Amino acid sequence: MIPFIPALNENRVIAESLRGIDQRIKAENKGVFSEAVILFDHVPVHRTLPYSGYDGYAVAGRSLRFALTDPRPDAREPRRPYYVSDKEANVSLADSEVVSLEQAWRWLTDWKQSKALLREQIVQRHQVWRNSREAAASDLRAREYERVRSDPDPLPLPPQIWGPEQERAWQADTDRGEVAAYQELQAWDGYPRSVTVFLVGNIGPCDGCKARLKVFLYELSAELFPKALVMVKAVYTGDQCKRGVRGTTDRLETEYGYPDRAEQQEFRLDGEPLRRAWVRLVTAWPVRQ
């Protein structure tokens, strides 16, 4: 494979995602949006739409996998990193990132289910093929056996139905079919070798959402794609990192974006202005089950 193609794919799909977010901001004059972009083996396979926090419950319902909050009094969501307070998790519950991660998780779960169904179909199709081949050959073999066994006298023996030559050709064809089926299944089981999810937005993720990204990465890797190399990156425009205060009565300080190891990259679509965004690799938060 030509090595620069994956980078081109990624650059392009992120540029499209940034454009989608720009268009929503233009249409609504303001807002904070994010969307998830999913790639298998460096090829884009899905984009959620750009969501705002307001889309949250309407799009994803009330049961949000990455809310990391527990509605019961004094209960602590066990997957949430210790350094994220209940208040932090609750104040960021309706952030656009929560919806985007939810939608990405749902798409990936659905994809895995349909993949399992298709795999079953491949196996069944192969079994039907194998059975019909066996049935056809054993019928001819049985007829040949009857022919040889019959007493030719006084009649001449009827022409040969099946012999070593047919047996060899049959075996060679069968071998080819078995190998092809094995390879098809092997390719199927090994796909995707890598899963990359970009969470693209017009502001860096807050402290609560940075923790959500870590849990998302961990669960994606441990539960959905244990055999693939899984990567999650936060991609965002605006400041690399800025402090902010949330909540009206109950004020809470948070930090948007990453103070460290975020790299500014350029994204371009043909005939459109250059877009710059921060890209930061997410590391996992191991969830104790």
Interface residues with Zn ion (CB under 5 A) are: 92, 95, 206, 209
Nearer to Zn ion, 70 or 184 (CB): 70
Nearer to Zn ion, 39 or 84 (CB): 84
Task: State the minimum distance, in angstroms, from the CB of residue 92 to Zn ion.
Answer: 4
Nearer to Zn ion, 34 or 221 (CB): 34
Nearer to Zn ion, 34 or 196 (CB): 34
Provide the total of helices (H) and of strands (E) in the chain, helices listed first: 6, 9
- Tokens linked to 111: 């994809």
Task: State the minimum distance, in angstroms, from the CB of residue 254 to Zn ion.
Answer: 8
Length of the chain, in residues: 289
Task: State the minimum distance, in angstroms, from the CB of residue 100 to Zn ion.
Answer: 11
Nearer to Zn ion, 209 or 232 (CB): 209
Distance separating alpha carbons of residues 162 and 175, to the nearest angstrom? 19
Handedness of CA 53, 57, 62, 64 (dihedral sign): negative
Task: State the minimum distance, in angstroms, from the CB of residue 34 to Zn ion.
Answer: 9
Helix, strand, coil percent values for the chain (each to nearest 5): 45, 20, 35
Q: Which residue's entry shows tokens 């030509």?
A: 2
Closest residue to Zn ion in the complex (CB): 209
Task: State the minimum distance, in angstroms, from the CB of residue 263 to Zn ion.
Answer: 21
Nearer to Zn ion, 24 or 130 (CB): 24
| HSE-CB of 15 using CA atoms within 13 angstroms | 17
Beta bridge partners, 198, equal 37, 233
Task: State the minimum distance, in angstroms, from the CB of residue 234 to Zn ion.
Answer: 11
Give every CB contact of residue 158 below 8 A, 6+ residues apart in sequence: 147
Distance separating alpha carbons of residues 10 and 23, to the nearest angstrom? 20
